[in-house]
Structure 1
């Protein structure tokens, strides 16, 4: 998703300290080791903490938890209405207005959510940021990597995370793990930390760890890699190099994502030869299987914008795009255009009732979405 170009790339005084990179970000701790699967004969199987919560929901409410809906940043009343009436799982705040990010405007909206609410923005820095008018600008990912060490980027991410959290934001659709040498103003361009996949990995994970330190959930994007794709998915279909090429370059950063505790992944609208069979990755079961099996990611996965990017809208009405994404393996479907969620929920409810959308697929997604926002 594109945003306006920030008017300043100036660093605050606390961030203008040194430059360079390290082979591996020592400041980014690995996830805690998983407990041994060898249980003693007397061990009690762990209770399903989400089952009781899910049982409280109607089928329509369960489906609503799998939606991430755009809301107008200048209309808190409309945002409150969509959460209160539909009980969607998350809202996305785009645009330049800051009404929803000031004066605790998000507090009543969050209170209206019976099972918690993920509140997301795009806060990458550079031309993609939301709180620069409120808390000062942040440089682009490319500039951060050129002027800071990995440890300093983690500190910058932590400060931004604290600022976002103080304004009611809980999820940041950042960092971009895309590996790119495009010009700064390209579709990815300076949103990429580096054209070196190892450096992109290290700096991306450092920024994500900083956001997590600040209390915000990072979202790694755009799987399986937008940096070498031809085209802009905002404008139309986008094709990447073949999967065999991505594995040695664009996908390298995702080799470390499974060890990062507390993150999520966004799947892009990218057609990948040798993987997606002509479909965008966001609607391709093979893309989600790649992320789950080859890259061992077990956390929540959401789509890129299904409602405002022609790579999707040129071929699919929004309700069908959402259904296809969930069937393919997405846990949450995102669209920034907001509006009435009724037609989307009607389509999903019809598919659930007929068996077109298996109840087990909905349950699987809920068991990732609800724990991520501490709803169970």
Structure 2
């Protein structure tokens, strides 16, 4: 199995990882050492109740999930090393993710002070200042056990409100690229992988995918604007990408991008991205939940090309893993081990294979 990752091996090695020998096993070898169900569990990121620290430990201990997502405003899990029991429950590092963009989407403002929104950053700060701000924020997050900030936003919009609104750096692809790139570089300098979102572009979509299906402009229109920051930033350094629940005329057919093989081909083939790919929330956003039960949505996303399926709805993990295990046994997840290898490489616990020179 050959893996050419678009991220620097070890960039996101988690702070609690006791360290790995220089002669690390290849990611293919590490995947082979895992039981089949454990390989699938590494591809799941599950929302946990931030007021119940033991819930994070339990979902990791019981199911071996590869990541947890902390939403809401409660900070119980981010104080006094409350995540330590969760880390101790897993033989592998666990992604700990929050949405930390600034403005109305941030999680540690009560603990470490607020960040301005992306729109305000672009209007009042220089790129160097944004770089320094993001670096400091990543350092604060890592000190609290967080390993992924799930930012920056690459969506482009001039709207002051709405689901994106001031989460966007603006409408000009060059400016969005400059400021989101500075934010991403700051995260990297603190050892955190940036996660660009919401591919292929939520800024000009018809509504809010939390409340129902939304449609973007046609693919040809996205290519000339919304996709430009991705085209420019993906080659610039290690990163991950999060796909939105977006119906794109000329690309996704009747499915949102998160469940559309064509959307992943656009990212992997046209844009040449080989790094880690997340879905947006599959369990709490009606663009998906109006049509799919969670186990079916997770399977559809992984079959379409996602590396990691995210949900925050509190749905149990067991039935999802049962559905994935049955699909894998039936040969319906042919690239699953390669995706698991990307997850392990992003955690810095194995060495990705070099690209085949042929």
Q: Give the structure-1-normalised TM-score.
A: 0.86
Offset at residue 85 of structure 1 (A): 1.2
| Alignment partner of 1:318 is 2:294 | yes
Q: Which residue of 2 aligns with 1:354?
A: 330
> Could you tell me how far apart the structure 2 residues matched to 1:302 and 1:92 are?
12
Alpha carbons 1:102, 1:167 under 8 Å: kept: yes
2:233 maps to 257
Deviates more, 1:117-126 or 1:51-60: 51-60
Instruction: Note the alpha carbon deviations across 1:156-183, whole angstroms, 9 max, x for none.
Output: 1011011101000001111000011112
* Partner Cα distance (1:330, 1:323) in 2: 10
Aligned to 2:110: 133
Question: Counterparts of 2:291 and 2:208 in 1: how far apart (Å)?
Answer: 16
Matched with 1:85 is 62
Among 333, 340, 344, which residue is 1:366 paired with?
340
Larger radius of gyration: 1
Q: Is structure 2 residue 80 aligned with structure 1 residue 100?
A: no
Greater relative CO, 1 or 2 (CA 8 Å, sep 6+): 2
Deviation at 1:61, TM superposition (A): 0.5
Deviation for aligned residue 1:116: 1.1
* Matched pairs, number: 331
Spell out, residue by residue over 1:188-235, the C-alpha distance to the aligned partner (whole angstroms, 9 max, x if none): 000000111110111011101111212222110000000111010000
Cα 1:256–1:48 shift into 2, 3 Å: farther
Aligned to 1:39: none
Give the match's secondary structure for 1:91.
strand
Which runs of 4 or more aligned residues in structure 1 lie more than 3 Å from their structure 2 counterparts after TM superposition? none
1:235-283, Cα deviation, whole Å (9 max, x unpaired): 0001000000001111110012332332100000000000011210000
Offset, 1:31: 8.3
Q: What residue in structure 1 maps to residue 134 of structure 2?
A: 157
SS at match of 1:172: coil
Deviation of 1:48 after TM superposition, in Å, equals: 6.7
Change (3 A) 1:282 1:176: same
| Unmatched tracts of structure 2, length 5 or more | 1-5, 9-22, 351-358
Pick from 346, 349, 355 the counterpart of residue 375 of structure 1.
349
State TM-score, norm by structure 2: 0.90
RMSD of aligned alpha carbons: 1.6
2:24/2:349 contact within 8 Å kept: no
Q: 2:313 aligns with which of 323, 337, 346?
A: 337
Moved more, 219-228 or 257-266: 257-266
In the alignment, the residues of structure 2 paired with residue 329 and residue 273 of structure 1 have an alpha-carbon distance, to the nearest angstrom, of 19
